[in-house]
Amino acid sequence: MITARDMAMAAAPVPQAPPASVAAAVPLTERILHVVLFLTIASSFFVFVQPSPYEGLIAILALVCVMARTSIDRLLIPLILLAVIMIAAATSAVFKVLYWYNAVQFYGITVYLQLTGIVFACIFTSDCSRRLDVTRSAYIFAATCASVIGIIGYFQMFPGAETYFTMNDRISSTFKDPNLFGPFLIPPLLMIMERFINERIRWHQLVASVIIFVAFILSFSRGAVGNFAAAVVVMLLFLFLTATGPRVRMRIVLLLVIGGIVGVLVFTALLSVDEIAQMISDRAVLLKSYDTGTSGARFDVQLNALRLVPDYPNGMGPLVFSLVNNLVAHNSYLDTVLNYGWLGGITYATQVILTLFLGFRMMVIRTPWQPTLIACNAAFLGLALEAFIVETDHARHQYLLMGVIWGLSAASARYLRGQYNASLDT
């Protein structure tokens, strides 16, 4: 619950960081950590194959964290306990299908993603500003690369490119599905918008934002559009409410107007292409035929999945529901219950809810990283809402955002108590 003290803290000015001359020298292990962190996140867009480079780099990143003596803040204990319970529930369920390689692989991805959330949470409990700068740069780089590849495929700039980087005339880029590609682009777009509001506009970020936004539109993902709209509204609202003064609020309003105009111009330019205009017209519908109705429609499958939940307290096993029905539930919360049982489903939902609660609770505290925490929490909220109609539980960036929120929340709590070493954030 937000207290009066927290609100007062939100209104207080951010303490100035000490000059670089008195800042502690960055140890070699910290520099290595920054490099590996950049490479890990920068590689997150390449998911064509399993295992991908991201998996191997996460293992190296965890090892470097140990070398750098990255500590585990006590505020992270609930996250760790929930991850342990989730892994235990998944392990219990996977024994039913050990003969099926795809199910075992799916289980392995669940385990490693839970562990990545903990790794990222530990990373962002200290040296927050520098590590966030690295993360932001790496994520924007990854999103730009994925967007360029997708645009090349969509416009068939090279022979056969559309075969690999599009699906059903929609950009999928290096992802398996456009509905996974679209949401991946939302956090970097929010990060760029937040930087435009709180810092000066940099041309390379402006160019990157246009490229990413074009690719985002060409994914034609209705869920991602809803995700983006919810995230933008929440981020701008809280940035406005926590702004340090009227000049910042005016800047938010001005950039919102300018951003809206640029967005409309880009959208209008895309509409001039007949194929794009036709696809947008086809996708600009709240409910399509495969959402409603019977015999395999999205919501019919979800209803059937819901009916099965009471019959499988220990779950059906990873991917068994999709194998039996030849369709997925398109709902992360239902999928998790059917894959890993009641315990797994309740744990996953608790993890999402507790992350949102903690993020909203701590982002009112005035810290140097407050705007970024607001952006990440808004992005996570959009993803949590989209999870009701799309599978997001295996989205890598969900666990990155989760880790950032928990890590920054732990740092904010120490900052509030005056126990955070601000000399690192120079």
The secondary structure of residue 369, as a DSSP letter, is T
pLDDT of residue 20: 42
Using CA atoms of 410, 415, 416, 418 in order, give the dihedral in degrees to the nearest 10.
Answer: 130
Number of domains the chain is built from: 1
pLDDT of residue 275: 84
- What is d(CA 53, CA 58) in angstroms, rounded to the nearest whole number? 9
19 part of a folded domain: no
16 part of a folded domain: no
17 part of a folded domain: no
- What is d(CA 383, CA 398) in angstroms, rounded to the nearest whole number? 7
Give the model confidence (pLDDT) of 283-297 as tens digits: 776 555 555 555 556
- What is d(CA 79, CA 384) in angstroms, rounded to the nearest whole number? 17
- What is d(CA 184, CA 337) in angstroms, rounded to the nearest whole number? 24
pLDDT of residue 276: 85
Task: Kindly provide the b/e burial profile for residues 383-422, where b requires at least 16 CB atoms within 10 angstroms of the residue's own CB.
Answer: bbebbebbbbbebbbbbbbbbbbbbbbbbbbbbbeeebeb
Asked if residue 277 lies in contact with residue 301, where contact means CB atoms within 8 angstroms, the answer is no
Beta bridge partners of 167: 170
pLDDT of residue 1: 44
Low-confidence ranges of the chain (pLDDT < 50): 1-2, 7, 9-11, 15-24
pLDDT of residue 423: 56
102 part of a folded domain: yes
> By residue range, what is the domain housing residue 151?
26-421
pLDDT of residue 109: 92
15 part of a folded domain: no
21 part of a folded domain: no
67 part of a folded domain: yes
2 part of a folded domain: no
pTM score: 0.89
